[in-house]
Amino acid sequence: MPVRSMIRLSLALRNFNELVGRWGSWFIMPLVGVTIWDVAVRKLGGIQYWLIQTLGSAFESTIIQELEWHFHTALFALVLGYGYVNNKHVRVDLVREKLSFRKQVWIEFLGCTFFLIPYCMLVGYFAFEYAYDSFMVGEISASTVGLPSRWIIKSVLVLGLIVAGLAGVSVWLQTVLVLFGPDVPLIQQSTERFAEKDLLTDADGANTGTAGATYVKLAVAPTALDKIAVSDARGAMNFRWVENSPIVHFPALPPSTRPEGPGDSTPADAAANAITVSYEHKIRLMTLQWPEDQAAKKRLRDAAQAS
């Protein structure tokens, strides 16, 4: 598989895991709410009995307690892959952290190849059979007053294993790139075109440091930006961070191309004032935490100049 295709696939899988993880993390809200409710009503004595008699069996202790572990299972299953691709999971390891970066990558490569991915595939297969059988027989809670449709929570477990397996594939692709891929950091070339109406004027110089300068905001995510070199037909432009957003600014537009009034603008003027910004940035593969040493920065500069 070409290097750039591997990068795109790895980043796509990571983005999918982050999407599932962000939505899955919201299960912490009902989990906390149901747990507090369960503890509170049991301490208040007759209130729970009154609620059951007045509003129905939904306030039974068995249902509330089963909801707690349902929400806990969903929370854990859906954020597992998110934690791994962002290197936020717990590592109980007294040896790995003292090794060199490349040896750490070898450990990650072997772990994904022989443990994480096969484990998720194997357990996911049996979990699917587990959920399917539950659906076919119409399994309910073991308690007569518990929750119905037990197959739903079992299916969430299957989804969590699939997502965790895809997280393993994303990290595995990163390790392959590091161990067997190009020797230089990976550079992505990007181009953004801004029409005349998109150009902003910094009247007091608060954003660019130069009063009257024209500037635009790039769409590239700050977390992905490692090095930027911007250029336009007018030549090189200046770059700075403003409120965590990448800002590109340059001197005021030449008087000959700036229209005198709203009615004086022509398509030719608009084309002349449009800005095409080309920039390059290093692709960050977050899980592996690329070392930021001087040699790596030099390779990055050399790769940028060569491209």
Distance of CA 151 to the CA centre of its chain: 29
Average pLDDT over residues 149-164: 94
What is the pLDDT of the chain when averaged over all its residues?
74
227 and 292 Cβ atoms separated by less than 8 Å: no
Q: What is the pLDDT of residue 174?
A: 85
CA distance 233 to 236: 8
More confident site: 34 or 89: 34
User: 3-class DSSP state for residue 99?
Assistant: coil
pTM: 0.63
> Of the segments 2-6, 42-46, 130-134, which one has the largest average pLDDT value?
130-134
What DSSP string runs through 23-55?
HHGGGHHHHHHHHHHHHHHHHTTHHHHHHHHHH
- Distance, CA of 34 to CA of 65 (rounded, Å): 8
pLDDT tens digits along 243-256? 555 566 655 444 43
Average pLDDT on 296-301 reads: 49
Q: Are 277 and 5 in contact (CB under 8 A)?
A: no
* pLDDT of 277 over the 80 cut: no
Rounded to whole angstroms, the Cα distance separating 11 from 257 reads 41
Q: Using the predicted structure, report yes or no on whether residue 13 has a pLDDT greater than 50.
A: yes
